Amino acid sequence: MSDMAVTREVFDQVMVPNYSPADVIPVRGQGARVWDQQNREYIDFAGGIAVNCLGHCHPALVGALKEQGEKLWHLSNVMTNEPALRLAKKLVDATFADKVYFCNSGAEANEAALKLARRYAIEHFGAEKTQIIAFNQGFHGRTFFTVTVGGQAAYSDGFGPKPADIDHVNYNDLDALKAIMSDRTCAVVMEPLQGEGGIISPDPAFAKAVRELCDQHNALLVYDEVQTGVGRTGELYAYMGLDVVPDILTSAKALGGGFPIGAMLTTDKIAASLKVGTHGSTYGGNPLACAVAEAAFDTVNTAAVLQGVKERESWYREGLEAINAKYHCFEQVRGKGLLLGCVLNEQYQGRARDFLLASMEEQLMVLVAGANVVRFAPSLVITKEEVVEGLARFERAVARVVNG
């Protein structure tokens, strides 16, 4: 091991400048706590952006990693492996789906979903049926196809010609969706709760109507559950709480509890369009990722953990209400389960990042979702003590911003 001094300056020397990370460099974590190079302790309300669903170094995940790490890491899809088949069986048994495709990230899961939707439509209804409809402010990943389907042009502009036949309407705007849907529509892609777009919940009537419109036009309904899936909203997948069943669902982030893995889930009928050779992934479904994901999935998919998410949501809401009663900076707290957004009021418009930076000063890790929303996506098993301590730090951060 090299003993070179690793500082924030090294980032600027050796890394492509597409990120602007904090000065703090964490070196270890336990539960919802993280320690930096100077051994300062932080409370983690960010969860690696909704990834660390069981916090840091959960024994079930560490155990699975060590055990599988001594057996097999990688084979390629010329063969299959036991962890991948066990995980796929569990996903199928727990959801609407019959079939699973594994990859390494949410973007890859969405890429697979979009390719499948197009292929299925063309195969069953002809070459004209290619329109994909998605929602403004939606986020579906950073590959060129997924970022174009995402609803923020700023992320897809400037790279040359975009994949074609993709349209956007406002989330929760049924009339706008009706106006552009036709029998040429191959898929509607939506998050069952918009994450990056500001923690926006779907109107339940809207969610149901989208399903009906898809049926009417023989279009597939694709649910991007990369951020909402695997317990985040208090259901195993958010579609279960909306009483709407999609045709294709994508999962990643929390699925591996911090180890990179993605999955696309669908029905037998639709899956049949991805015949041998039509799509693939070198690492997708590798035994190491699948063994860790299986441990994460087994741990989260219990009544105790899922019920616990709803209980923890109430701890946050009560704590945030108390803070806001003193400092009057949030218009509302949006979201569901442990994907929550504190929406800044008129007075603090555009200042979400100030709250994030003040939180770091108080040794608390939070996120933003756009310029006006402070986002929390903590561990699903965060303790009461960690929530209370974290909210005390958040209150001090809020005071810093409010008092200038």
Residues carrying an active site annotation: 139, 224, 253
For residue 28, the tally of other CB atoms under 10 A from its CB is 11
Q: Which residues have a Cβ under 8 Å from the Cβ of 77 and sit 6 or more positions away?
A: 280, 281, 282, 284, 285
Can you tell me which residue has the tokens 């909306």?
A: 242
Token couple for 55: 């916090």
Q: CA-to-CA distance for 57 and 189, rounded, in angstroms?
A: 34
Can you tell me which residue has the tokens 């964490």?
A: 26
Q: Which residues have a Cβ under 8 Å from the Cβ of 384 and sit 6 or more positions away?
A: 315
For residue 11, the tally of other CB atoms under 10 A from its CB is 16
Give Dmax over CA atoms of the chain in angstroms: 63
Q: CA-to-CA distance for 361 and 50, rounded, in angstroms?
A: 22
Q: Which residues have a Cβ under 8 Å from the Cβ of 219 and sit 6 or more positions away?
A: 121, 133, 181, 185, 186, 187, 188, 213
The burial of 173, by beta-carbon neighbours within 10 Å (0-12 exposed, 13-18 middle, 19 or more buried), is given as middle
Q: CA-to-CA distance for 55 and 67, rounded, in angstroms?
A: 20
Q: Please answer whether residues 300 and 309 qualify as being in contact, where contact means their C-beta atoms are separated by less than 8 angstroms.
A: no
Q: Please answer whether residues 336 and 241 qualify as being in contact, where contact means their C-beta atoms are separated by less than 8 angstroms.
A: yes
SS3 206: helix
SS3 110: helix
Token couple for 29: 């974590």
DSSP-derived secondary structure for 216-266: HTT-EEEEE-TTTTTTTTSSSSTHHHHT---SEEEE-GGGGBTB--EEEEE
